[in-house]
């Protein structure tokens, strides 16, 4: 058996039932789980290799449980993460409050973790605009850019990781790097 070497740890955070597991399932296995909702207990791990230019970056994705009951455990999973995908349900304003909580916590505790804010269940608001509870501009206040699909979101995570890794290498050799970006946000509006 051959174990996969993980280059970057990625953590999924957000209120329960916002769709973190569905997002990871969609991205890694290209499927949407049907049937009754099953909450994540503790956390689940999956690794995925992504081509970035001529390199292959392997993301190790920790899908945490959203229930506040598991909050202390989620903290263990974000330690040392290079990226956090913080999810909120576009039809649930309380999930946006919870997302803000995680963003603040990551900003305070994980200075090298890049934060990607991700609005989920876009299909529901496409079907009925009145269901939208979080204004695009509210999310934009937290975001520096947008991606539209799950694939582009994780591709961006891998590319940003690659750029930062290169930056650290250059720093060590003492070459001038120009501007340094430590932490910023991306917003993604799809779960497909």
Ligand X SMILES: Nc1nc2c(ncn2[C@@H]2O[C@H](COP(=O)(O)OP(=O)(O)OP(=O)(O)O)[C@@H](O)[C@H]2O)c(=O)[nH]1
| Binding of residue 48 to ligand X (CB under 6 A) | no
| Binding of residue 149 to ligand X (CB under 6 A) | no
Q: Quick one: 123 or 135, whose CB is closer to ligand X?
A: 123
Q: Which of 37, 136, 168, 184 binds ligand X (CB under 6 A)?
A: 37
Least distance to ligand X from the beta carbon of 51, Å?
26
Least distance to ligand X from the beta carbon of 160, Å?
23
| Binding of residue 91 to ligand X (CB under 6 A) | no
HEC secondary structure over the chain? CCCCCCCEEEEEEECCCCCHHHHHHHHHHCCCCCCCCCCCCCEEEEEEEEEECCEEEEEEEEEECCCHHHHHHHHHHHCCCCEEEEEEECCCHHHHHHHHHHHHHHHHHCCCCEEEEEEECHHHHHHCHHHCCCCHHHHHCCCCCEECCHHHHHHHHHHHHHHHHHHHHHHHCCCCCCCCCCCCEEEECCCC
| Binding of residue 39 to ligand X (CB under 6 A) | yes
Among the listed ranges 2-10, 35-43, 104-112, 141-149, the one in contact with ligand X (CB under 6 A) is 35-43
- Give the footprint of ligand X on this chain (CB under 6 A): 14, 16-22, 37, 39-40, 65-67, 120-121, 123-124, 191
């Amino acid at each position: 058996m051959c174990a996969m070497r993980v280059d970057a740890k990625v953590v999924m955070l957000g209120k329960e039932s916002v769709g973190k597991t569905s997002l990871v399932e969609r991205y890694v296995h290209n499927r949407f789980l049907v049937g009754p909702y099953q909450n994540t207990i503790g956390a689940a791990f999956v690794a995925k290799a992504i081509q970035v230019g001529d390199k292959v970056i392997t993301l190790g994705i920790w899908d945490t449980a959203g229930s506040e009951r598991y909050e202390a455990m989620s903290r263990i999973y974000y330690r040392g993460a290079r990226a956090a995908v913080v999810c909120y349900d576009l039809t649930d304003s309380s999930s946006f409050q919870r997302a803000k909580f995680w963003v603040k916590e990551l900003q305070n505790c994980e200075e090298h973790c890049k934060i990607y804010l991700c609005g989920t269940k876009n299909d529901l608001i496409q079907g009925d605009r009145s269901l939208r509870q979080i204004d695009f501009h509210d999310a934009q206040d937290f975001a520096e850019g947008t991606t539209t699909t799950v694939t582009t979101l994780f591709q961006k995570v891998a590319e940003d990781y690659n750029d930062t890794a290169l930056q650290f290498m250059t720093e060590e050799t003492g070459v001038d790097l120009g501007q340094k970006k430590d932490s910023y946000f991306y917003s993604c509006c799809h779960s497909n």
